[in-house]
């Protein structure tokens, strides 16, 4: 997502932004999960640099995980409820969820924030610091947003400002590395980026 596009959509509600992305990319190619709660590989569009996001993630966490998904309505896995997005669009979706979670969300689930601090931000910190994956599908998705670091920093500034009082938010939740756990990268290699994030 280019910064100019972000400026166009930044005041959308979560559901308005889901509609916008479905207009842009179309709905799911198929239901995300089969009736036996296994991911359907045909839903994937990583060859285009796109990830699949569940529209109902403003109601429940980890809807792509079988153990969590089966505790929620199967309807939430239907093709019409799948939103395609690049990594930065995915980050904005999760920020919007943190800003305005569904009123009838699952009790005791802090929706949205786990995707930000456990997955999207740690991975993008590595990517924007120079880490390169050996996986083709992942490289496609990274290449799609590689030139948009300014958008990434703008989104992080928004997250730091609007989600500060949300459950599980801590200032240091943004200073992470996804691949450090696997011995492929380290937080030290992200330090220059961390300095930029700190100054936002």
> What is the pTM assigned to this prediction?
0.97
Q: Which residues contact 175 (CB under 8 A, 6 or more apart)?
A: 125, 187, 190, 194, 197, 198
* Residue 149: domain span: 3-198
Q: How confident is the model at residue 108 (pLDDT cuts 50, 70, 90)?
A: very high
3-36 core/surface letters (b: 16 or more CB in 10 A; e: else):
beebeebeeeebeebbebbbeebebbebbbbeee
Domain count of the fold of the chain = 1
DSSP letter (8 states) at residue 156: H
Average of per-residue pLDDT across 4-15 = 98
What pLDDT, on a 0 to 100 scale, did the predictor assign at position 171? 81
Read off the pLDDT of residues 30-80 as tens digits, 9 standing for 90 and up. 999 999 999 999 999 999 999 999 999 999 999 999 999 999 999 999 999
Provide CB contacts within 8 A for 43, sequence distance 6+.
Answer: 28, 29, 30, 31, 32, 52, 79, 82
pLDDT tens readout for residues 138-154: 999 999 999 999 999 99
List pLDDT tens digits, range 68-94: 999 999 999 999 999 999 999 999 999
């Amino acid at each position: 997502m280019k910064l100019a596009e972000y400026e166009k959509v930044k005041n959308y509600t979560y559901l308005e932004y889901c509609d916008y992305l479905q207009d842009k990319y179309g709905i799911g190619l198929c239901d995300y999960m089969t009736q036996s709660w296994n991911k359907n590989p045909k839903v994937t569009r990583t060859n285009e640099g796109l990830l699949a996001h569940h529209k109902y993630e403003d109601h429940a966490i980890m809807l792509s995980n079988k153990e969590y998904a089966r505790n929620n309505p199967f309807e939430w896995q239907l093709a019409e409820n799948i939103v395609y997005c690049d990594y930065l669009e995915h980050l904005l979706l999760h920020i919007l969820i943190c800003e305005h979670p569904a009123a009838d969300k699952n009790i005791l689930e802090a929706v949205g924030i786990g995707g930000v601090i456990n997955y999207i931000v740690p991975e993008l910190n590595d990517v924007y610091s120079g880490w390169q994956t050996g996986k083709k599908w992942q490289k496609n998705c990274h290449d799609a947003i590689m030139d948009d670091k300014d958008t990434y920093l703008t989104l992080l500034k928004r997250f730091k400002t609007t989600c500060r009082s949300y459950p599980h938010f801590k200032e240091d939740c943004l200073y992470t590395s996804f691949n450090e756990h696997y011995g492929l990268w380290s937080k030290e290699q992200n330090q220059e980026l961390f300095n930029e994030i700190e100054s936002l």
